[in-house]
Amino acid sequence: MPPHVLILGGTTEARELAAVLTAFPGVRVTTSLAGRVSRPGTVTGEVRIGGFGGAEGLARWLREERVDALVDATHPFAAGITANAARAAAATGVPAVVLRRLGWEPGPEDRWHPVPSLDAAADLLPSLGRRVFLTTGRLGLAAFAHLTDLHFVVRSVEPPEPPLPPRTEVLLARGPFTVDDETALLSAHCVDVLVTKDSGGSATSAKLTAARQLALPVVVVRRPALPEGVTAVPDAAGVLERLGFSPR
């Protein structure tokens, strides 16, 4: 068993993994958070806040702190961090695992429009609706700022960063959300198109069910590809297996 595990966190899966790993005697667990959320959830074990300074800085930290295993449990769209983690692991020889929740899959009644990026989502929107429920997080909204004729309802945990579309209503909320709540929100705001990233998981999936029931089109931004040669596991059990932890 690796005596010191560094988890690149910020997700529910990262918190759950930290709790599992700290239960093993003799294992030191450090979870690193970017510090972008003012009220992160409770994390078991040691916590550090802030970036490392790219792949080189992360590699230096791995060496200085004698890290024996690295788990990238960041958000599926944190492509820059994932790339840096892969390079740092390769440079130091530290075993690395990517923990990613499974993505969403459309059903036969879903009206999904998969796109590769936020810019592609913005290009498609005018042909689908005029009132948009935008749930892609507080970063990257500049991609929609030029759509002056559309009305946006933006939901995020923290206040979004400008520039924003000129006709924007901001809702600050943290999941999980129920199907009834999401249906009521979509109806109250007369939403006719939903935009989301394929974050996966159950905490924010109720909006997809609500959109299906209301027959609304959904623009789904696909996940960025993992670095070449990197594969992911979907849960803590997969991480334990990869790192050689014995079942408890």
In the chain (248 residues long), the average pLDDT of successive 10-residue segments reads: 90 95 95 75 91 97 97 95 97 96 95 98 98 93 97 94 94 92 97 96 92 98 94 95 81
Verify that 117 and 60 share a domain, yes or no: no
Distance, CA of 89 to CA of 92 (rounded, Å): 5
Verify that 192 and 151 share a domain, yes or no: yes
| 124 in a structural domain | yes
Verify that 51 and 121 share a domain, yes or no: no
Reference 110, options 11, 7, 210, 32; nearest CA is 210
pLDDT of residue 248: 57
Question: 132: Cβ–Cβ under 8 A, 6 or more apart, which residues?
Answer: 125, 144, 150, 151, 152, 153, 191, 192, 193, 194, 195
Write down how long the chain is.
248
pLDDT of residue 201: 87
| 248 in a structural domain | no
| 15 in a structural domain | yes
Verify that 163 and 184 share a domain, yes or no: yes
| 191 in a structural domain | yes
Domain boundaries, position 126: 111-221
In DSSP notation, 19-41 reads: HHHHTSTT-EEEEEE-S-SSSPP
